[in-house]
Amino acid sequence: MKPKINLLIAEPSDIIRSGLMSLLGDDEFEFMAPLRDLPTDLPLRLPHLQPDILLLNPTLLQSPAKMQLAALMQARPQMAVVALVYQYVEPQLLQSFKTILDIREQGSHLPQLLRDCCQNADEASDENYDLSERESEVLVLVAQGLSSKEIADKLSISIHTVNTHRKNITHKTGIKSVAGLAVYAMLHNLV
Amino acid sequence: MKKTFFTERMKMADVIAANHNLILVMPRLGIPLGFGERSVQEVCDQYAMPVDFVLLVFNVYTFDDFNPNDEALRPASLEHLVPYLMASHKYYVNERLPHIERHLTRVAQHAGERYGQILKNFFADYEKEVLEHFASEENDVFPYLHSLLKGQHLDNQVSEHFADRHTDLVDKLSDLTQIVYKYLPGETMTEELNELVFGVMQLSSDLQKHAKLEEKVLMPYIEQLERSLQ
């Protein structure tokens, strides 16, 4: 049997916490004592608690939220931090989360969604920030101004794969805009 | 989970202590420093600024989860909105961008010809894009709001792609900092590089708040006026 996924929920609403737990079920998930708020010493406790996933309502983060989130991620890099969203949350902040779980998501999709982000976290733990050969290839084409569709045709791969490469490139380099990627490519003598 | 935001009864000095970045916002509101122990209400009265509007700006700039209610989106509270946004544009164009450019030029001079040129081109393109964006707001969006206020409903879709462009402008600044401190050869010019990176970060965070004010106040206000004219 596969080991259960340790899930730590940080969410102020009793209703939502109980709802999530009952939808996810305890066959696959081990629920840790849920949090109603974010204790300031949470980063210190995370290495002992060892959750695989932190399901976090982003409104619990105190300003500057991005820094607090970064501290949580740093405290346990192999943990996937998932945003539990039902209010307005800054898009800039949401980008920093591994995945977003919208409260309107269909109940039956929830276990798969969380399982997926665990797998991604495994890959991320032995992270390599150098671009792979394929990623460099995609980067050069992005820098030349090609769209994802055009790149997919040119390399005979699916547009979905191109987008995954682009996502990884941005994750590895920290650069989001096409113009910025073009500069990166030039500085690294790729074009 | 009720959160407190800034109110008119707080001392202006306490508000600034809570978020020192607001010091940069005050001149654009026409409020000089030197407010002693006076409250936000008293300082606003002194400079004939509607306190609702000043608080709106302060709160949007400070609290990520602050969302103005419909009450706040009234013509009486928002007559200073467009002048404020224009003053911000002017501040970015006349002060912040030239400041960054000065440091960038010096960094570029020391980075070698190839790197220097790449960096300068990136910034020049960025600057052009920002200027175009501001110009389109000043030439299209603000006059459109003005005509709505006069009761004329013009049928041009100004609100589309508004948010996309903002994200793009902020992303590019973030890319510039990444390029400067991660990918430029860093053995020389530490001081200049730091000045450049901090200058860019400061502009980036200011622009983000500026964009938020437009997305949370200006656009809903325009939509509300459009609805009232339908």
Q: Which residues lie across from A7 on neighbouring strands?
A: A31, A53
Q: Are residues B98 and B180 in the same domain?
A: yes
Residue B72 — very low, low, confident or very high, per pLDDT cuts 50/70/90? Answer: confident
User: Nearest-CA neighbor of B23 among B206, B160, B165, B151?
Assistant: B206
Sign of the C-alpha dihedral, residues B72, B73, B75, B79? positive
- Counted across chains A and B, CB pairs separated by less than 8 A come out at 59
Q: Is A43 left (phi over 0), alpha (psi -120 to 50) or beta?
A: alpha
Q: What does the pLDDT average to over A131-140?
A: 92
Q: Are residues B79 and B50 in the same domain?
A: no
Q: Are residues B111 and B167 in the same domain?
A: yes
**Is residue B205 in a domain?**
yes
Q: Are residues B59 and B36 in the same domain?
A: yes
Q: Are residues B111 and B194 in the same domain?
A: yes
**pLDDT computed for residue B159 by the predictor:** 60
**Is residue B5 in a domain?**
no
**Is residue B217 in a domain?**
yes
Q: Are residues B159 and B103 in the same domain?
A: yes
Residue A181 — very low, low, confident or very high, per pLDDT cuts 50/70/90? Answer: very high
Q: What does the pLDDT average to over B94-108?
A: 93
**Is residue B100 in a domain?**
yes
Residue B2 — very low, low, confident or very high, per pLDDT cuts 50/70/90? Answer: very low
How many domains are there within chain B?
2
B182 and A63 within 8 Å at the Cβ level: the answer is: no
Q: Is B115 on the interface with A (CB under 8 A)?
A: yes
User: Nearest-CA neighbor of A16 among A105, A125, A143, A144?
Assistant: A105
Tell me the residue length of chain A: 191
Within 191-210 of B, beta carbons closer than 8 Å to A belong to 208
**Is residue B124 in a domain?**
yes
Q: Are residues B38 and B140 in the same domain?
A: no
Q: Are residues B110 and B219 in the same domain?
A: yes
Q: What does the pLDDT average to over A7-31?
A: 92
pLDDT over 80 (residue B4) = no
Q: Are residues B197 and B131 in the same domain?
A: yes
**Is residue B3 in a domain?**
no
A179 and B65 within 8 Å at the Cβ level: the answer is: no
The model scores a pTM over 0.95: no
pLDDT over 60 (residue A100) = yes
**Is residue B156 in a domain?**
yes
Question: What domains can you pick out in chain A, each with its CATH number?
Answer: 5-125 (3.40.50.2300), 133-187 (1.10.10.10)
B55 CB burial (10 A radius; 0-12, 13-18, 19+): buried
How far is the C-alpha of B145 from the C-alpha of B78, rounded, in Å? Answer: 11
Q: Which of B171, B182, B184 is the closest to A176 by Cβ?
A: B171
**pLDDT computed for residue B94 by the predictor:** 96
**pLDDT computed for residue B43 by the predictor:** 96
Q: Are residues B61 and B83 in the same domain?
A: no
> In chain B, which residue's Cα lies nearest the Cα of A37?
B1
User: Nearest-CA neighbor of A93 among B30, B167, B6, B147?
Assistant: B167
**pLDDT computed for residue B29 by the predictor:** 94
- Domain boundary among the residues B46, B66, B86 is at B66
Q: Which of A65, A89, A175 is the closest to B178 by Cβ?
A: A175
Within 52-91 of B, beta carbons closer than 8 Å to A belong to 62-65, 67
**pLDDT computed for residue B64 by the predictor:** 78
Domain assignment of residue B56, given as a range: 12-66
Q: Are residues B45 and B99 in the same domain?
A: no
Between A80 and A89, name the one with better pLDDT: A80
The residue written with tokens 């996810």 in the block is A24
pLDDT over 90 (residue A148) = yes
**Is residue B42 in a domain?**
yes
pLDDT over 90 (residue B28) = yes
Residue B158 — very low, low, confident or very high, per pLDDT cuts 50/70/90? Answer: low
Q: Is B187 on the interface with A (CB under 8 A)?
A: no
Q: Are residues B44 and B119 in the same domain?
A: no
**pLDDT computed for residue B69 by the predictor:** 80
